Amino acid sequence: MEVTVFNKAGQDTGRKIDLNDQIFGIEPNEHAIYLDVKLYLANQRQGTHKSKERAEISGSTRKLKKQKGTGGARCGSIKAPIFVGGGRVFGPRPRDYGFKVNKKVKALARKSALTFKAQQNSILVVEDFKFEAPKTKEMVAFKNNLKLADKKSLIVLSEADKNIYLSSRNLKNTFVVTSSDLTTYDILNASTLVLLESSVKNIEENLMN
């Protein structure tokens, strides 16, 4: 699949780049995408939720009323779950929500997500560029040049660039990630992928291994 390469000013450079069909043109596997996104979201959970159960409540151990003769149900502790302020039955406990997804399934999920973006013509390839200093207005101008002002955009770099990252940090719908940290969730969460030319090669190398 051939796509046009643009420069930072949003102009057609007259060059095209081939996107590997084994990564950007496969038969998408929606179940693999589901598993990988589910894993990503599960790993975002802290899992620190906790409620006190009956044995953990502070309170008197005095028997509230006599066992028989009251006409009501027997009760032995104010810490019982049926009373206000009592312990909770089977309450949440700290836990890890993560689970195992095989490496090949994760790779298949990313390939499937990239294929969906390619089919939707939501991938832009841009010549490598740098900012001399962190400037939010330069990132705004960059997005305007590519007609992405109102779109949620994910800029994929081949390696970390502090100036580009800091320039995008204050913009609501602009995210920057390196090709090695690219996730299925990131791909699907953006309406447009902006791939720097050097990052395309890195993505293909990472997913072909």
Shared domain for 113 and 148, answered yes or no, is yes
Shared domain for 165 and 62, answered yes or no, is no
d(Cα 65, Cα 73) in Å, to the nearest integer?
Answer: 10
Shared domain for 83 and 145, answered yes or no, is no
Reported pTM: 0.84
* pLDDT digit string (tens) for the chain, length 209 residues: 888 999 989 898 989 999 999 999 999 999 999 999 999 999 999 999 999 999 999 988 899 999 999 999 999 899 999 999 999 999 999 999 999 999 999 999 999 999 999 999 999 999 999 999 999 999 999 999 999 988 999 999 999 999 999 999 999 999 999 999 999 999 999 999 999 999 999 999 999 86
Shared domain for 25 and 111, answered yes or no, is yes
Shared domain for 18 and 85, answered yes or no, is no
Whether residue 171 contacts residue 139, with contact meaning beta carbons closer than 8 Å, is answered with: yes
Range of the domain at 55: 51-91
pLDDT in tens, 91-109: 999 999 999 999 999 999 9
Domains in the chain, number: 2
Q: Which of 114, 118, 124 has its CA nearest to residue 7?
A: 124
Domain at 32, CATH number: 3.40.1370.10
